[in-house]
Structure 1
Amino acid sequence: MTDVNKPPVVSRREWLAAIDTLRAREKAHTREGDAIAAARRRLPMTEVDPSAPLIGGTGHVPLIDVFEGRTQLFVSYHMWHDGHTAAEQCEGCTFFTGQVRELSYLHQRDVTFAVFCQGPYEESDRYRRFMGWDMPWYSVPAESHERLVADRHFGMKACYLRDGDHVYETYWTTGRGVEPMAPSYGILDMTVHGRQETWENSPSGWPQPYEALGQQFRKDGRPTAQWARIAAGHDDDLHSGQPRTGRSGCCS
């Protein structure tokens, strides 16, 4: 580490004073986030077809059954590249999906978490198992794309409310709006070098080797999280000789 890529050294009193100054901004940011969340809870909602079919481990499942008896549902729409290898799958969706592991706190608050994948169930579920994920996983057949995605794109996140036999969409977001699913970003934001991505406003000389074009989620030709699975001996074969088909754009 050189003198140009580390902070200046000051006394502890000066350091604490600088943090106190920043803390006031952090608290204002938190309060504004609370206000935005309050406004989000006051949004109107729109009805969606509760019978929209999905494909799960037991076959076709209507949307309303994905709630698993709860009244709220959070869905991560996972992008997929049909027929391609695990290494070629969406690095952005892998980054975000893989960081949602403990679901009991959501369940305690009457929220079900599920992944709705763009790809065919058998192939994409092999990916889920390769990655070691155990969240509910469904494939969205073509007949449900318009009913659920509706001119948006996979990679988005959406929230639903069930009222008896009716289902409503209450919120959706994409882009940086999905960052709450990635606590590693929140941790990196507290470190001195941040995310180390080129778009960040960092002091001159700070390391920023990552472009924010999906490359920040990859290492040596794979989504970064796959390397630990490979090292542990997990099989990344998804299609067992099925022909490769066209690749769509990634969400990152």
Structure 2
Amino acid sequence: MPRVTDRAAFQAELDEVRAREKAHTREGDAIAAARRRLPMVEVDPATPLIGPEGSTTLLDTFEGRRQLIAYYSMWHHGQPASEQCQGCTWINTEVGDLSYLHSRDITYAVFCQGPYGESRRYRDFMGQRMPWYSALDSLDVLLEGRQIGLMHLICYVREGDRVFETYWTTRRGVEVVDTSLALMDLTVFGRQEWWEDSPEGRPRLEGATMRLNGRPIPQWARVEAGFSDDLTGLQDRDG
């Protein structure tokens, strides 16, 4: 546990951290401003994906809005729900009400790197409601020059029927979607992960930090509520 002190001494040290937080916020604003000034690269708007109505296009996934944020969810082919990506499960569980994004003319969608049928079944098992597509057959185009099989977050903008990629990130860059990790970072024990710089003796999780008893953590609430995790219950539209 941290040392105990009086209110004045606590506030004095907190004020030092607060000054660094404010500087961090201002630097984040400056980085966001730099993102808005990046060049962009054109992408074929007819790039095919698979959605709830079968074959569709990248342009269609905008749903008529000006911008698109696509989360490229990892997929472990042929594996049951319990063995699917713990990080992508965590991230997508954090995505709830999309109305605020929609108010800024932004669509958020998952482009799964696996087949539509079983991955959509997984989305339904998890109770997620964001638009869901399979990008499996177009990953070489959509992830050109990047490692297929990793989680990616990619931003697009359209001008009429033309589509442009404006930003992308991967690995810890996708943490911007996750409020749980940001809240954990405010607590005295942090995320309790092995790599964190915490005082000696603070709690540390052993092994996988996003799994519990053999499953990604958010799955347990769905299993206990009686939802089926059978991924074979929905036929693949793409075979």
Which TM-score tier does this pair reach, normalised by the shorter chain?
Answer: over 0.9
Q: Does 1:16 align with 2:14?
A: no
Match of 2:27 among 23, 32, 43: 32
Residues 53, 141 of structure 1: 8 Å contact kept:
no
Shift of 1:156: 0.6
Kindly provide the amino acid, as one letter, of the partner of residue 137 in structure 1.
W
* Cα separation, 1, equivalents of 2:53 and 2:78: 22
Partner of 2:222, secondary structure, is helix
Q: Is this contact kept in 2: 1:130–1:229, CA < 8 A? A: yes
Contiguous gaps of at least 5 residues in structure 1: 1-5, 243-252
- The unaligned stretches of length 5 or more in structure 2 are none
Q: Does 1:150 align with 2:166?
A: no
Q: By how many angstroms is 1:239 displaced?
A: 1.9
Matched-pair contact (CA < 8 Å) for 2:70–2:111:
yes
Provide closer, same or farther for how the CA distance between residues 210 and 179 of structure 1 changes in structure 2, counting only shifts above 3 A: farther
Match of 2:212 among 210, 219, 223: 219
Q: Distance in 2 between matches of 1:81 and 1:125?
A: 14
Residues 113 and 241 of structure 1, relative CA distance in 2, 3 Å threshold: closer
1:151, CA displacement in angstroms?
A: 3.2
CA RMSD in angstroms comes to 1.3
Equivalent position of 1:69 in the other structure: 64
Give the AA of the match of 2:39. Answer: P
CA contact (8 A) 1:120 1:141 kept: yes
Partner of 2:189: 193
Asked if structure 2 preserves the Cα contact closer than 8 Å seen for 1:72 and 1:159, the reply is: yes
Who is 1:245 aligned against?
Answer: none
Distance (Å, rounded) in 2 between the aligned partners of 1:171 and 1:41: 9
Question: Is the aligned partner of 1:118 residue 2:113?
Answer: yes
For 2:199, give the aligned amino acid: P
Report the equivalent of 2:229.
Answer: 236
Percent identity reads 58
SS at match of 2:122: helix
Give, in whole Å, the separation in 2 of the partners of 1:207 and 1:108: 41
Which aligned runs of 4 or more in structure 1 are off by greater than 6 angstroms?
Answer: none
